[in-house]
């Protein structure tokens, strides 16, 4: 199979890329290597401006349900391009990459790993049926004491002490939502990461980060955690 010849349009949208009033077209093309699957690779981003020649960028990403979203993330009255999708199988990790046209070049100004690099969080099982979560200067404690005994026995000994092999972790982002406050002229990002317990299906809580990309720089506006079980803030 010649993959170049078999590239198809994955998604396309109309947008204001050049300026507030321009009528441009954004196209995501790629290869669908498997029948009956939404997985695509060999992706390319194409901007067809209202005037001028098309601009193309090969993308270093591949995944499932790849799609386009356009919106003004940098408050310059022009729209940026967000490419969304998922990878990682049952882990459900999210692809969320934002591109901006700068001087006729397509520049990446955000990808899903930036939140992990710029605002890392860690989690750890603690004695007496607790999980401590640290996100910079914010610290939280999740109470596991209301979990079933057979679950707690996997993590703790009979005295409530953590077994050496018990490890909790914080996943890479599993959702990235573009959101817009009614008082803002620009979009922000709501990013979620799971706090994971004894296995990948064991979600202990969700870290939510609200971020903006003003000045083309990632800024954390607010950060917090919500829980499926009892919790307390340290």
Q: What is the pLDDT of residue 234?
A: 47
What is the mean pLDDT for each group of 10 consecutive residues in the chain (234 residues)?
Answer: 72 96 97 93 96 95 96 97 84 89 95 93 96 90 92 96 95 94 95 93 93 94 77 47
Chain CA centroid to CA 113, Å: 8
Beta bridge partner(s), residue 191: 176, 209
Rounded CA-CA distance 33/15 in Å is: 29
- In this structure, the dihedral spanned by the alpha carbons of residues 96, 97, 98 and 104, taken in order and rounded to 10 degrees, is -160
Rounded CA-CA distance 231/234 in Å is: 10
Which domains does the chain carry? 8-112 (2.40.128), 115-233 (no CATH)
Q: What is the pLDDT of residue 136?
A: 85
Q: What is the pLDDT of residue 4?
A: 54
Q: What Cα–Cα distance (Å) separates residue 114 from each residue in 30, 190, 210, 223?
A: 25, 13, 13, 15
Encoded tokens for 26: 């954004």
């Amino acid at each position: 199979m010649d993959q170049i010849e078999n590239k198809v349009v994955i998604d396309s949208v109309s947008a204001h890329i050049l300026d507030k009033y321009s009528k441009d077209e954004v196209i995501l093309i790629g290869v669908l290597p498997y029948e009956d699957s939404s997985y695509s690779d060999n992706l390319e981003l194409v901007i067809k401006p209202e005037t001028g020649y098309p601009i193309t960028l090969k993308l270093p990403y591949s995944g499932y349900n790849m799609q386009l979203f356009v919106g003004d993330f940098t408050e310059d009255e022009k729209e940026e391009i967000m490419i969304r999708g998922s990878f990682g199988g049952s882990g459900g990790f999210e692809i969320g990459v934002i591109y901006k046209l700068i001087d006729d070049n397509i520049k990446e100004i955000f990808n899903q790993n930036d939140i992990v690099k710029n605002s890392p969080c860690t989690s750890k099982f603690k004695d007496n049926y607790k999980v401590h979560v640290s996100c910079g200067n914010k610290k939280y404690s999740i109470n596991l004491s209301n979990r079933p005994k057979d679950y707690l026995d996997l993590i703790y000994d009979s005295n409530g002490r953590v077994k050496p092999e018990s490890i909790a972790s914080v996943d890479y982002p599993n959702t990235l939502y573009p959101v817009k406050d009614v008082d803002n002229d620009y979009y922000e990002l709501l990013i979620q990461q799971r706090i994971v317990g004894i296995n990948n299906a064991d979600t202990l809580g969700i870290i939510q980060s609200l971020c903006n990309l003003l000045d083309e720089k990632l800024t954390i506006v607010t950060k917090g955690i919500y829980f499926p079980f009892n919790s307390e803030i340290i």
